[in-house]
Amino acid sequence: MRRLYYELTESLRIAFAQIRANKLRSALTALGVIIGIVAVTLMGTAIKGIDAGVDRSFSGFGDDLLYVSKWPWSNVDDWWNYRNRRPIRHEYARQINEWIATNPDSPLKLAVPTGERFTTIVRGQYRLNNIYTLGTTADYSRITRSDLKEGRFFTDAEGQVGANICFIGFDVADALFPNESPLGKTIRIRDQNFTVIGVAAKQGSFLGLFSWDSMVAMPLTTYRRYYRVGEDGEIRVQVDGTRMAEAREELQGLMRRLRTLGPEKRDDFTINEQGTIRAQLDPIKNGVALAGLFITGLALFVGAIGIMNITYVSVKERTKEIGTRKALGARRRTILLQFLIEAVAICFVGGVAGLVLAAVLTSVVGAVAPSFPLVFSTSLVVTGLAVSVFTGIFSGFAPAWAASKLDPVVALRYE
Amino acid sequence: MNVSEILRLALDSLKANKLRSGLTMLGIAVGVFSVIGVMTVITGLRGSIESGLNVLGANSFQFSKYPAINFSDPRQRFANRRDIDYNQAARFKELMADSAQVSLMLRRGGRVAIYADRRTNPNVILGGADENFITARNFEIAAGRNLGPDDVEFGRAVVLLGDELTKKLFLNESPLGRMVRIDGQAYTVVGLLAPKGSSFGQSQDNFAVTPITQFLETYGRAGRSISINVQSANQAELTATMETSVGTMRLVRGLDPEDPNDFEIFSNDTLIESFNNIAGVVAVGAFVISAIALLASGVGVMNIMLVSVTERTKEIGIRKSIGAKKKNILSQFLIEAVVLSLVGGLAGIAVGVIGGNVVAGMLNATAIFPWGWAIAGMVVCSGIGIVFGYYPAWKAASLDPIEALRYE
The pLDDT tens digits of the residues spanning A198-230 come to 998 887 665 555 667 888 999 999 998 888 876
One-letter amino acid of A125: Q
Residues B98/B270, Cβ–Cβ less than 8 Å:
no
Q: Which of A167-181, A186-200, A264-278 has the lowest mean pLDDT?
A: A264-278
For residue B189, the Cα-to-chain-centroid distance in whole angstroms is 36
Q: Do A28 and B303 touch (CB under 8 A)?
A: yes
Region B151-179: what's the mean pLDDT? 90
Q: Do A24 and B307 touch (CB under 8 A)?
A: no
pLDDT, residue B101, reads: 85
Residue at a domain's end among A272, A291, A310: A272
pLDDT, residue B1, reads: 55
**Cβ-Cβ contacts under 8 Å, B38 against chain A:** 295
Q: Taking CA atoms, what residue in B is nearest to A129?
A: B74
- On whether both A240 and A299 belong to a single domain, the answer is no
Q: Do B20 and A309 touch (CB under 8 A)?
A: yes
pLDDT of A150 strictly over 70: yes
Number of separate domains in chain A? 2
Please count the residues of chain A: 415
pLDDT, residue A167, reads: 92
Q: Do B299 and A32 touch (CB under 8 A)?
A: yes
**pLDDT above 90: percentage of residues in chain B:** 10
- The pairing of strands A126-136 and A215-219 is parallel
Q: How far is A24 from chain B (nearest CA, A)?
A: 8
**What is the DSSP-derived secondary structure letter of residue A217?**
E
Q: Do A298 and B31 touch (CB under 8 A)?
A: yes
**Cβ-Cβ contacts under 8 Å, A300 against chain B:** 296
Q: Do B23 and A312 touch (CB under 8 A)?
A: yes
Beta-carbon contacts of A289 under 8 Å, excluding residues fewer than 6 positions away, are A47, A50
pLDDT of B232 strictly over 60: yes
**pLDDT above 70: percentage of residues in chain B:** 94
Structure pTM? 0.71
Q: List the single residue in B31, B77, B306 with the smallest CB-CB distance to A302.
A: B31
**Cβ-Cβ contacts under 8 Å, B24 against chain A:** 305, 309
Q: Do A295 and B290 touch (CB under 8 A)?
A: yes
Region A167-177: what's the mean pLDDT? 89
Q: List the single residue in B290, B297, B303 with the smallest CB-CB distance to A310.
A: B303
User: In a mutagenesis test of the A interface, which of B292, B302, B358 is the best target, namely the one with the most A β-carbons within 10 Å?
Assistant: B292
Residues B353/B369, Cβ–Cβ less than 8 Å:
yes
pLDDT, residue B73, reads: 59
The region, left, alpha or beta by phi > 0 then psi within -120 to 50, assigned to residue B200 is left
Residues A162/A221, Cβ–Cβ less than 8 Å:
yes
pLDDT, residue B199, reads: 63
- On whether both A202 and A313 belong to a single domain, the answer is no
> In this structure, which long-range contacts are made by residues B6-15, counting pairs with CB atoms below 8 Å and at least 24 apart in sequence?
B6/B328, B6/B331, B6/B332, B6/B335, B7/B335, B7/B339, B9/B332, B9/B336, B10/B332, B10/B333, B10/B335, B10/B336, B10/B339, B11/B339, B13/B308, B13/B312, B13/B336, B14/B336, B14/B339, B14/B340
CA A325, CA B214: separation in Å to the nearest integer? 99
pLDDT of B159 strictly over 80: yes
Residue at a domain's end among A222, A252, A272: A272
Q: Taking CA atoms, what residue in B is nearest to A315?
A: B20
What are the phi and psi torsion angles at A231 (to 5°)? -55, -40
pLDDT of B367 strictly over 80: no
**Cβ-Cβ contacts under 8 Å, B303 against chain A:** 25, 28-29, 32, 306, 309-310
Cβ-Cβ contacts under 8 Å between A and B: the total is 96
Q: Do A301 and B300 touch (CB under 8 A)?
A: no
Name beta bridge partners: B203.
B198
User: In a mutagenesis test of the A interface, which of B23, B363, B394 is the best target, namely the one with the most A β-carbons within 10 Å?
Assistant: B23
Per-residue pLDDT of A117-143, as tens digits, reads 888 888 888 888 778 888 999 988 888
Between the alpha carbon of residue A387 and those of residues A39, A297, A311, B26, the distances in Å are: 13, 10, 19, 21
pLDDT, residue A255, reads: 92
pLDDT of A280 strictly over 80: no
pLDDT of A412 strictly over 80: yes
Sign of CA dihedral A284, A286, A287, A291: positive
pLDDT, residue B189, reads: 93
Q: How far is B302 from chain A (nearest CA, A)?
A: 8
pLDDT, residue B215, reads: 92
Q: How far is A303 from chain B (nearest CA, A)?
A: 6
pLDDT band at residue A144, thresholds of 50, 70 and 90? confident
CA A219, CA A165: separation in Å to the nearest integer? 8
Residues A28/B303, Cβ–Cβ less than 8 Å:
yes
Range of the domain at A383: 2-58+279-413
Per-residue pLDDT of B372-398, as tens digits, reads 878 888 888 888 888 888 888 888 888
User: In a mutagenesis test of the B interface, which of A313, A347, A372, A415 is the best target, namely the one with the most B β-carbons within 10 Å?
Assistant: A313
Q: Do B23 and A302 touch (CB under 8 A)?
A: no
- On whether both A162 and A252 belong to a single domain, the answer is yes
pLDDT, residue A102, reads: 92
User: In a mutagenesis test of the B interface, which of A309, A314, A319, A357 is the best target, namely the one with the most B β-carbons within 10 Å?
Assistant: A309
Per-residue pLDDT of A97-117, as tens digits, reads 999 999 888 888 899 998 888
Alpha-helix residue ranges (DSSP H) falling in B312-370: 313-321, 326-362
Q: Taking CA atoms, what residue in A is nearest to B32?
A: A298
**Cβ-Cβ contacts under 8 Å, A32 against chain B:** 296, 299-300, 303
Q: How far is A293 from chain B (nearest CA, A)?
A: 10
**Cβ-Cβ contacts under 8 Å, B311 against chain A:** 317
pLDDT, residue A78, reads: 66
**Cα Rg for chain A, rounded, in angstroms?**
32
- On whether both A191 and A125 belong to a single domain, the answer is yes
pLDDT of B72 strictly over 60: no
- On whether both A40 and A178 belong to a single domain, the answer is no
**Cβ-Cβ contacts under 8 Å, B292 against chain A:** 35-36, 39, 296, 299
**Cβ-Cβ contacts under 8 Å, B31 against chain A:** 298-299, 302
Residues B206/B34, Cβ–Cβ less than 8 Å:
no
B→A contacts (Cβ < 8 Å), by residue, are 19-20, 23-24, 26-27, 30-31, 33-34, 38, 74, 76-77, 286, 289-290, 292-293, 295-297, 299-300, 302-304, 306-307, 311
Q: Is B133 helix (H, G, I), strand (E, B) or coil?
A: helix
The interface pTM score, or ipTM, of the predicted complex is 0.70
Q: Do A313 and B307 touch (CB under 8 A)?
A: yes
Mean pLDDT over all residues of chain A?
Answer: 85
pLDDT band at residue B160, thresholds of 50, 70 and 90? very high
**Cβ-Cβ contacts under 8 Å, A301 against chain B:** 30, 293
Mean pLDDT over all residues of chain B?
Answer: 84
Between the alpha carbon of residue B85 and those of residues B56, B105, B150, B174, the distances in Å are: 21, 11, 21, 36
Q: Taking CA atoms, what residue in B is nearest to A119?
A: B76
- On whether both A193 and A109 belong to a single domain, the answer is yes
Q: How far is A177 from chain B (nearest CA, A)?
A: 21
Q: Do B292 and A299 touch (CB under 8 A)?
A: yes
Region B165-169: what's the mean pLDDT? 89
The region, left, alpha or beta by phi > 0 then psi within -120 to 50, assigned to residue B158 is beta
Alpha-helix residue ranges (DSSP H) falling in A22-112: 23-59, 79-83, 91-102
Q: For residue A145, count other CB atoms closer than 10 A to its CB.
A: 13
pLDDT, residue A210, reads: 61
Residue in B84, B86, B83, B63 with CA at minimum distance from that of residue B214: B86
Q: For residue A164, count other CB atoms closer than 10 A to its CB.
A: 16
CA B254, CA B261: separation in Å to the nearest integer? 11
pLDDT of B58 strictly over 90: no
Q: Do B76 and A302 touch (CB under 8 A)?
A: no
Q: Which of A51-65, A145-159, A352-366, B86-100 has the lowest mean pLDDT?
A: A51-65
Between the alpha carbon of residue A94 and those of residues A133, A162, A258, A288, the distances in Å are: 22, 17, 11, 44
Q: Do B76 and A29 touch (CB under 8 A)?
A: no
pLDDT of A322 strictly over 80: yes
Residue at a domain's end among A255, A272, A289: A272
Domain ranges of chain B: 3-52+273-406, 82-262
Q: List the single residue in A24, A295, A296 with the smallest CB-CB distance to B306.
A: A24
Q: Which one has a higher pLDDT value, B127 or B11?
A: B127
